[in-house]
Amino acid sequence: MLSKKVEKALNNQIRIEAESSQIYLSMASWAEVKGLEGIALFMYKQSDEERLHMLKLIKFVNERGGHAQISELNAPKIEFGSFQKMFQELFDHEIFVSNSINELVHVTLQEKDYATHNFLQWYVAEQIEEEALARTILDKINLIGNDKGGLYLFDRDVQQITITSAAAPGPLG
């Protein structure tokens, strides 16, 4: 059984994952209209993953006797300036999500809710991976600078990362 405090914190995380999905969906759409196909594919996939993170939490809350609440979301931005800035935003957003997961883990310890604490370890591990991936991409962006040919190769590289990671088991599998 979830304490009210843990349930509230989990519901907050459900909203954050849903908003993350919308943010990446908006980034995907922006990249698509700019002709950045690989980047768009990557962002569509990130958006799908965030939705799965949200669903996994919803199932958990309801299974543990709580009520997962689907709430109103903040609208994401629709313009991102440049793909460099967009990936910086993705990285910053993942740091924000990691901090939020850490807070959530902290609440479960305060409440001595070891079942939820155990469940959240998957999210802790996932955040390490997502931060590492975003950092790798930012490093690549720094390497290419403003080179047009570099952008073409970068877009293809990001597409390759997307295809490779799509072959790995998903969060619900």
Residues that bind ligand FEO (CB under 6 A): 17, 20, 50, 53, 94, 97, 130
Select 61 or 97, whichever has its Cβ closest to ligand FEO: 97
- The answer to whether the Cα torsion of 135, 52, 102, 76 is positive or negative is positive
Cα angle: 166, vertex 97, 171; to 5 degrees: 30
Residue 131 Cα distances to 12, 18, 27, angstroms: 21, 18, 17
Q: Could you tell me the smallest distance in angstroms from the CB atom of residue 83 to ligand FEO?
A: 18
Minimum CB separation of residue 53 from ligand FEO in Å reads 4
Least distance in angstroms from the C-beta of 3 to ligand FEO: 23
Alpha carbon 2 to its chain's center: 25
**Nearer to ligand FEO (CB atom), residue 20 or residue 116:** 20
- Indicate the residue whose CB is closest to ligand FEO: 53
Residue placing its CB nearer to ligand FEO in the complex, 138 or 151? 138
Instruction: Identify the residue whose tokens are 């910053």.
Output: 92
Query: Could you count the other beta carbons within 10 Å of the beta carbon of residue 28?
Result: 20
Least distance to ligand FEO, CB of residue 123, Å: 7
